[in-house]
Amino acid sequence: MRYYYDGCASWKWFYPYHYAPFAADLAAAIDPGQPADFELARPFRPFEQLMGVLPPRSAHALPEPLAQLMTDPGSEIADFYPEDFALDLNGKKFLWQAVVLLPFIDEARLVDAMGERLRKLSGDERRRNSVGEPVLFLSDAHPLCAPLVASYGPPPAPLVLTSCTEHSASVAGTLTPLPGAPLPGGLCEPPPFCGIEVAKALRPFTTSAAGATFTLPPPAKHVPQLLPGLVPPSPLLGACDAPCESKRYVRARGRGPPGGYGGKGGGKGGFGGHGGGGRDLGYRRLEGDRAPVDEQAVLDAIARRAAARQAREFQAADQIRAQLLAGGVEVDDRTKTWCVRDARLAAGPVSPPPGYYSPSSASPSSPPHPYAGRSPPHPGGGGGGGRENTHVRFGGEGGRHDRGGGGAGGGGPGPVRHGRSDGRHQPYARPPPGPPPGYGGGG
């Protein structure tokens, strides 16, 4: 982090390992009470840098006196360039992904070995091995170009920019006129090149830029803050981006346990209807529906249907829904509402159509048999009245039709009717005459 905020802490320091450290190693090596002290030193010069990173097969890129240090087996730094070295795949599959375990360069030995041979370099090679000044080129449309051209004189004087807020260029430092540099509108000669084809392509041209050496301001402690004179932009967020002031939470609708089952009808009569729900299921009448209907009977039917669905008796649940639709009542399970779609049909209590399984007339080949006497009734449960069951038997027992009783109140007694046959096949036994049973009350 210090490198990014304060610049290079040391030009000579490096991490003397081939593998990055663990966080635990760094924690053990860092002493908070003794901050690290780095020596700034100086960076390598160009040829020194190339000698530290190039392999021997790239020695032709260096001047001949320096290339011999890399290729001569008797060189004093020949151990820096081994021909055989270890490769650590470190879990990788291909050799080019391996960690190359080369020896680290000793800076002092490298500089000493190059000292005598640097004297054999030509003037151009010595220039190439030197560290020059940064050069900044400005277009004639740049706001600093006119002050820079004026600094060329006579007499030439450096252009010092002390604050980046004094102009729109947003730069601070010192611009020093570059001797021999062409100014905007002047003729620029291309530098000499060693290639004939390259030299043919280059032609003198009229420049529209001015150049100068650039020097950064003296280093100072970095303070992360807004620059003086900053004009903050206007906010882009509107009223729609503001957080909601009221906190409204939507509570999930839980599904309560189903109501209990009603008791059996009298004797071997039909089973009592399922209990009309031990608790409120949350169904409500649709707002604006004013058609006459027995609301309690509708809610009891909805509760029995919910109990049947909870018990996975889907056929019974569909029958109850069909009864409600036949009575003109439609239930919406998604919104948990119900309403009367046909006021004419819903003028009276919601009741099932008579005889779901009983034909309107007896079979001509099987005349109706007399009904047996009423058996002692068995009390029904707290649920609705018994449902109608029809049985077909072969043999001596014959057909039997059972209908549980009960009215609008709690599950009432269920009368039992028996019919006997002479062993012939009876398709259906006729139900006893009388009005259909009503729904029982809530269980």
Work out the number of other CB atoms within 10 angstroms of the CB of residue 88.
12
362 Cβ partners below 8 Å, 6+ apart? 368, 428, 430
- The domains of the chain are located at 2-128, 135-215, 253-443
pLDDT given at position 166: 62
Burial 380-401 (b: 16+ CB within 10 A, else e): bbbbbbbbbbbeebeeeebbbb
pLDDT for position 443? 36
Helix, strand, coil % (nearest 5) of the chain? 25, 10, 65
pTM greater than 0.75: no
Cis omega before residue 154 (within 30°)?
yes
Dig out the tokens for 212 from the structure.
């100068």
Residue 383 pLDDT: 44
Hey, CA dihedral for 13, 17, 21, 27, is it positive or negative?
A: negative
The DSSP symbol for 199 reads H
Return per-residue pLDDT of the chain as tens, 443 residues.
Answer: 778 877 888 998 888 889 888 999 888 888 878 877 888 899 999 999 999 999 999 999 999 999 999 999 999 999 999 999 999 999 999 999 999 999 999 999 999 999 989 999 999 999 999 988 899 999 999 888 988 999 988 888 888 887 656 666 778 889 999 888 888 998 888 777 666 676 677 788 899 999 999 998 887 777 888 888 888 888 887 777 777 766 565 555 555 555 545 444 444 444 433 433 334 577 888 888 888 888 888 889 999 998 998 888 888 999 998 988 888 888 888 888 888 876 444 444 444 444 444 444 444 444 444 444 444 444 444 444 444 444 444 333 444 444 444 444 444 444 444 444 444 444 444 555 555 444 444 43
Q: Cα 309–310–312 angle (5° rounding)? A: 60
H helix intervals, 203-313: 295-310
Q: Which neighbouring-strand residues pair with 329? A: 340
CA-to-CA separations, 113 to 51, 58, 66, 69, 318, in angstroms, rounded: 11, 19, 9, 8, 99
* CB 430 within 8 Å of CB 368: yes
User: Which residues have CB under 8 Å from 16's CB, separation 6+?
Assistant: 104
Where does 2-128 sit in CATH, by number? Answer: 1.25.40
